[in-house]
Amino acid sequence: MTRTKNDRSSQTRAGRRSLAGQLSDRVRSYLATEAGSAGLLLVAVVVALVWANSPWSAAYTSLWSTELSLSLGNADLSMDLSHWVSDGLMALFFFVIGLEVRYEISVGALSGRDRIMLPALAGIGGMVVPTAIYLVMAPGGEAAGGWGTVIGTDTAFMLGALAVVGPRFVTQLRVFLLAITVIDDIVAVSVIGLVYSDTVHLLPLLEALALCAALALLTRLGAWRTAPYVLLVIALWLATLAAGLHASIAGMLGGLLIPAHAPVPEVLDRATRLFRAFRQSPRADVGLSARLGLQRAVSVNERLQLMLHPWASYVVVPLFALASAGIDLRGGVLGRALASWLTWAVVVGLVVGKLVGVWGGAYLGTRFGLGKLPKGVGHGHVVGGAVLSGIGFTVSLLIVGLAFEDSALRAQATVGILVAAVLATVLGWLAFHLAAVLRGETDADLPRFLDRPVDPDTDHIAGPVDAPLTLVEYGDFECPYCARATGVTHELRQRFGDRLRYVFRHLPLPDVHPHAVLAARAAVAAGAQGRFWEMHDLLYRHQDKLEFEDIAAYAIELGLDIERFLDAVDDEGTAERVRADTASAEASGALGTPTFFVGDRRHTGPYDAETLARELEASGADPPS
pLDDT attached to residue 373: 87
pLDDT attached to residue 12: 61
DSSP 593: E
pLDDT attached to residue 433: 93
Give the phi and the psi of residue 469 in degrees, each rounded to 5.
Answer: -110, 140
pLDDT attached to residue 159: 78
The CA distance from 92 to 308, in Å, is 8
Neighbouring CB atoms inside 10 A of 359's CB total 24
CA atoms in the 13 A half-sphere facing the CB of 18: 26
pLDDT attached to residue 341: 94
pLDDT attached to residue 189: 81
pLDDT attached to residue 193: 77
- Please, are residues 403 and 371 in contact by the beta-carbon 8 Å criterion? no
Q: Is 533 helix (H, G, I), strand (E, B) or coil?
A: helix
Structure confidence by residue, pLDDT tens digits, 151-196: 988 877 887 788 888 887 777 888 788 888 878 878 888 888 778 8
Q: Which residues of the chain have pLDDT under 70?
A: 1-37, 108-114, 265, 268, 620-625
Length of the chain: 625
Structure confidence by residue, pLDDT tens digits, 259-281: 888 777 677 677 777 777 777 77
Kindly provide the b/e burial profile for residues 534-557, where b requires at least 16 CB atoms within 10 angstroms of the residue's own CB. bbbebbbebbeebeeebbbebbee
The CA distance from 473 to 180, in Å, is 32
The CA distance from 415 to 437, in Å, is 33
Domains of the chain: 8-197+246-263+298-439 (1.20.1530.10), 460-618 (3.40.30.10)
Rg of the chain over all Cα atoms, to the nearest angstrom: 28
Q: Is 591 helix (H, G, I), strand (E, B) or coil?
A: coil
The CA distance from 357 to 136, in Å, is 16
Helices (H), 312-393: 317-324, 333-338, 341-348, 354-367, 379-388
The CA distance from 88 to 84, in Å, is 5
